[in-house]
């Protein structure tokens, strides 16, 4: 029986039932995964959170709880909310950079139009010079 107990039942030193809610998401070969969610949420809360969603969604629940627990252990004050803040700062920075580059492109496009306008003007005036009668005639 011991070899088929999931990481949760192993850590909680209990029998692992055939319909164990933890078994598919906390395999015995990865004890740290359960250990992390257990430290932050407690086994009973993790079980409740898994049970309240449909079976096909449980792997995502286990993954996201593990990620949040991992973040909270690494960063006890902010947890993964700290990552959200960093990502928001990154977005602000990119938006400012994008606005700057877009303003620059508008400016360069405007200068190009002026340059092209002058080119057309010069081009037509030089053409005039070669085809019209010289002034001294």
Question: Which residues of this chain interact with a second copy, rule CB under 8 A?
Answer: 40-42, 44-45, 49, 52-53, 57, 60-61, 63-65, 67-68, 72, 76-84, 87-88, 90-91, 94-95, 97-98, 101-102, 104-105, 108-109, 111-112, 115-116, 118-119, 122-123, 125-126, 129-130, 134
Other C-beta atoms within 10 Å of 35: how many? 15
Looking at the Cβ atoms of 4 and 111, the one nearer to a second copy is 111
Residue length, the chain? 137
Looking at the Cβ atoms of 10 and 67, the one nearer to a second copy is 67
Residue ranges with strand state E in 40-128: none
Q: How far is the CB of 24 from a second copy (least distance, A)?
A: 15
Looking at the Cβ atoms of 2 and 132, the one nearer to a second copy is 132
Looking at the Cβ atoms of 4 and 110, the one nearer to a second copy is 110
Spatial distance between the Cα atoms of 41 and 39, rounded to a whole number of angstroms: 6
Residue ranges with strand state E in 6-76: none
Q: Report whether 33 contacts 61 (CB < 8 A).
A: no
- Which tokens hold the place of 52? 């309240």
């Amino acid at each position: 029986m011991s070899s088929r107990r999931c990481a949760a039942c192993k850590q909680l030193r209990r029998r692992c039932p055939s319909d164990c809610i933890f078994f598919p998401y906390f395999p015995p070969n990865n004890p740290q995964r359960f250990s992390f969610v257990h430290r932050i949420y407690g086994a009973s809360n993790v079980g409740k959170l898994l049970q309240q969603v449909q079976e096909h969604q449980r792997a995502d629940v286990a993954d996201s709880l593990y990620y949040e627990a991992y973040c909270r252990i690494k960063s006890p004050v902010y947890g993964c909310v700290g990552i959200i803040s960093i990502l928001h700062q990154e977005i602000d920075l990119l938006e400012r950079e994008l606005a700057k580059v877009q303003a620059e492109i508008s400016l360069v496009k405007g200068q190009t139009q002026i340059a092209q306008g002058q080119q057309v003007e010069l081009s037509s005036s030089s053409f005039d010079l070669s085809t019209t009668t010289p002034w001294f005639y």
